[in-house]
Amino acid sequence: MSLAKQRKVWTFALLFCSITFTTILFSYTFRDPSLYIFKHAFQLSDSFFSKGPCACRQCIAELEGDPWFAERFNQSIHPLMTRENSILPEETFRWWQWLQAERQPANFSEVVEELFQVIPDEVLYTDASPDRCRTCAVVGNSGNLKGSHYGSLIDSSDFIIRMNQAPRSGFEEDVGTKTTHHVMYPESAIDLDNTTSLVLIPFKTLDLQWIISALTTGTIKQTYVPVMPTIKANKNKVLIYNPAFLKYVYESWLESRGRYPSTGFLSLQFAIHICDEVSVFGFGADQYGNWHHYWEDNHLAGAFRHTGVHDGDYEYNVTLLLADKHKIQMFKGR
């Protein structure tokens, strides 16, 4: 082979290797954020590595190309209440007070001040960045979790959000063993371990008074029904769902359907606003069309679907639409 031909062969081989390496490099860089180091090592142009709102493969906060989602998704209203954002607009406060029609409520600002003497006054989960990928599992209570074997998949998420009276013991294979956040209201309260954040949804001023009492004196024993006078929970990890955020979810996402959103839908929206990827388990009916809790043997269709307070069908349809738009991943169980 002549020297000229050898040079051509070597040039072609070098070019082929260069193209192959570059293709692999780009493919893995965008699939695995840990390989961003190659971008800096080779000092390639930043234009080739434009980052999205998070480091996950698909970010909830990506608004381009989806007008429906962009119109509804608002990150300016924080899901959790602090002293600073507890000063509610008059319209919001009146709407919130109307939800459970509390008679002679206590002074709201005084209760809030007392509340944040008992629990931390912190602004959390505002660390969204192109370098963060926070995965979250929202675990509902549907009977479709029975026999699903989702436990290990649920436990693999960074945040695992459960709600109301959902048990884990005896159901670990299907629902997992871990909980980072447990969403409840006074009438659905259960004891928690020391590592779990209690997320209280207050529907009235008395609910804020209840959590103060439940963590201290135990004097409040009834709201509109008997409630737990005391609760086992780490008071340094107690969080309060923001009434302004509750109203935003009701108006923007549910278009004011029902009286107010369900705990499940409020938990889902909490996850959508603090997480980058959200997986949803235990929502909807089982394979036979029955709506019941996974720990119950109640197979009466509609057992918790129609409460007279929530529009369950509309909430479920919005949840399905979020899945269809790849904003959440929905696991429908059995």
pLDDT in tens, 204-218: 999 999 999 999 999
> From the candidates 185, 241, 248, 260, which is the catalytic residue?
260
Whole-number pLDDT of residue 13: 52
310 labelled ligand-binding: yes
Tokens of 299: 């197979």
Give per-residue pLDDT as tens, 72-87.
Answer: 999 999 999 999 999 9
Pinpoint the residues of the chain covered by CATH 3.90.1480.20.
67-331
Beta-sheet pairing, 159-163 with 135-139: parallel
Find tokens 């696991």 and name the residue: 331
Tokens of 107: 């002074």
260 carries an active-site annotation:
yes
SS3 (DSSP) at 201? coil
Compute the distance between CA of residue 73 and CA of residue 136 in angstroms, rounded to an integer.
18
Q: Is the dihedral of CA 70, 126, 265, 248 positive or negative?
A: negative
310 carries an active-site annotation:
yes
Q: Is the dihedral of CA 244, 249, 252, 254 positive or negative?
A: negative
> From the candidates 78, 181, 292, 310, which is the catalytic residue?
310
- Which one is the CATH code of 67-331: 3.90.1480.20, 3.30.365.10, 3.40.50.620, 1.10.275.10? 3.90.1480.20
pTM of the model: 0.83
Name the percent of the chain lying above pLDDT 70: 82
284 labelled ligand-binding: yes
316 labelled ligand-binding: no
Mean pLDDT of the chain: 87
Whole-number pLDDT of residue 183: 98
Compute the distance between CA of residue 179 and CA of residue 183 in angstroms, rounded to an integer.
10
pLDDT less than 70: residues of the chain: 1-50, 298-307
Asked whether the beta carbons of 309 and 122 are under 8 A apart, the reply is no
